[in-house]
């Protein structure tokens, strides 16, 4: 295998690509001695976790909930967290030990398309657009105001409740108001109200106002529950050979939510990356391993790995992915991409450096 790392030339080509947003075209010309430089990628993963926060708050009249509403209220304030979602997204980073200079002579105008990270995307194919598989990522959700934090809660409080200094009396008045509202709703629905709404829209508005006020007064007895969702993304690398396959990516604290892996106030959330298959070098018809062609166009033959995210003994997310670290590097004869008679193109997976498609260009 002939591998050349030319630092100065790589810096120049990197500067030429610096303004590209997605891919850049590098053409083999006399100016660069027909040499094209690219870097093969290594696999990594982004693990996104969603944790739901629940805040329970007792109502002002929780002590009287059983007496007036025959219901069990929230008795004490509390905060709790639970994992509600997880997603795995494959990413890549440069393999500094697999940087190649490919020489494509004969004045063919051969070119390579590279990503912003200088990963190979295609060779002699400018139209190819590699698309990363979409991952359904969890989304953060902000806490909404409780019914007692809305203006309707003030509207539901009667002057008598405001004037009373006894919590027991205020609770009695609030309960009476709840039953009054229920009676009003029943009369409107049955058409027996003394002052009926003029039309359907007015009836809906009146019923909505009654429902909101009843909800607010009821919350004064039963309490409120407020939820929100926090989302965080963690970068996970493939364990080195011989290293533990399972690691703690984060922890879940019942008080603080998602915390750092070394914060023992939380329970561990694990990510496991384990090899399933290993990439192998191709062999000839006699079963002998082929040798890397002189000046070959390097590509990766990846292996596969199983990646899982687990918490409290349950798997949150998982899947099998092509993994560059479990593979080997081989090369294609560079003459395939410079021949005037039968010019070839090559398409890569820029996350692994694997060959997606090799074909001939119709001329």
Tens digits of pLDDT across the chain (363 residues): 333 333 323 333 333 333 334 778 877 665 565 667 889 999 999 999 999 999 999 999 999 999 999 999 999 999 999 999 999 999 999 998 888 877 777 656 788 889 989 899 999 898 998 888 889 999 999 999 999 999 999 999 989 999 998 999 999 999 999 999 999 888 888 887 777 877 788 888 888 899 999 999 999 999 999 999 999 999 999 999 889 999 999 999 999 999 999 999 999 999 999 999 999 999 988 889 999 988 889 999 999 999 999 999 999 999 999 999 999 999 998 888 887 778 889 999 999 999 999 998 866
Let me know: does 294 contact 331? Beta carbons within 8 Å.
Answer: no
Q: What is the pLDDT at residue 334?
A: 87
User: What is the Rg, in whole angstroms, of the alpha carbon atoms belonging to the chain?
Assistant: 33
What angle, 0 to 180 degrees and rounded to 10, lies between the N-to-C axes of helices 200-222 and 167-190? Answer: 150
In our burial notation (b when 16+ CB lie closer than 10 A, e otherwise), range 101-121 reads bbbbeeebebbbbbbeebbbb
> Do the bridges between strand 120-123 and strand 297-311 make them parallel or antiparallel, or are there none, so unpaired?
unpaired
Sign of torsion, CA 113 351 302 244? positive
Let me know: does 275 contact 322? Beta carbons within 8 Å.
Answer: no
Q: Collapsing DSSP states into helix, strand and coil, what is residue 8?
A: helix
- The first and second tokens of residue 292, run together, are 């890397």
Among 101, 82, 83, 89, CA closest to 40: 101
Give the predicted TM-score (pTM) of the model.
0.82
Longest dimension (CA), the chain: 98
Q: What is the pLDDT at residue 170?
A: 94
Let me know: does 55 contact 285? Beta carbons within 8 Å.
Answer: no
Let me know: does 164 contact 176? Beta carbons within 8 Å.
Answer: no
Determine the Cα angle at 239 with ends 316 and 40, to 5°.
Answer: 105
Q: What is the pLDDT at residue 11?
A: 31
Among 146, 36, 57, CA closest to 102: 36
Determine the Cα angle at 323 with ends 130 and 306, to 5°.
Answer: 115
Let me know: does 327 contact 14? Beta carbons within 8 Å.
Answer: no
Q: What is the pLDDT at residue 33?
A: 59
């Amino acid at each position: 295998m002939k591998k050349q790392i030319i630092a100065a030339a790589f810096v120049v080509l990197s500067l030429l690509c610096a303004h590209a947003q997605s891919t850049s075209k590098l053409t083999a010309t006399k100016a660069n001695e027909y040499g094209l430089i690219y870097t093969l990628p290594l696999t990594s993963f982004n693990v996104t976790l969603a944790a739901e926060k629940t805040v329970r708050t007792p109502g002002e009249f929780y002590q009287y909930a059983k007496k007036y509403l025959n219901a069990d209220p929230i008795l004490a304030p509390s905060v709790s967290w639970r994992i509600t979602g997880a997603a795995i997204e494959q990413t890549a980073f440069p393999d500094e030990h697999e940087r190649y200079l490919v020489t494509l002579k004969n004045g063919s105008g051969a070119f390579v398309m590279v990503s912003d990270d200088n990963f190979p995307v295609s060779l002699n194919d400018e139209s190819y657009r590699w698309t990363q598989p979409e991952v359904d990522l969890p989304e953060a959700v902000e806490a909404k105001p409780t019914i007692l934090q809305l203006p309707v809660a003030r509207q539901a409080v009667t002057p008598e409740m405001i004037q009373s200094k006894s919590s027991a009396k205020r609770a009695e008045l609030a309960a009476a108001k709840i039953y009054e509202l229920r009676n009003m709703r029943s009369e409107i629905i049955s058409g027996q109200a003394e002052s009926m709404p003029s039309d359907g829209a007015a009836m809906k508005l009146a019923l909505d106002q009654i429902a909101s006020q009843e909800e607010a007064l009821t919350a004064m007895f039963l309490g409120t529950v407020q939820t929100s969702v926090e989302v965080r993304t963690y970068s996970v690398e493939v364990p080195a050979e011989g290293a533990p396959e399972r690691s703690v990516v984060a922890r879940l604290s019942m008080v603080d939510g998602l915390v750092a892996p070394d914060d023992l106030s939380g329970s561990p959330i694990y990510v496991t990356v384990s090899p399933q298959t290993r990439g192998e070098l191709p062999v000839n018809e006699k079963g002998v391993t082929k040798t890397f062609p002189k000046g070959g166009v390097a590509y990766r033959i990846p292996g596969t790995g199983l990646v899982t995210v687990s918490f409290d003994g349950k798997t949150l997310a998982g899947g099998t992915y092509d993994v560059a670290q479990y593979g080997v590097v081989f090369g294609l004869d560079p003459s395939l991409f410079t021949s005037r008679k039968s010019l070839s193109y090559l398409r890569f997976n820029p996350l692994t450096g694997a060959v997606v498609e090799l074909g001939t260009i119709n001329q």
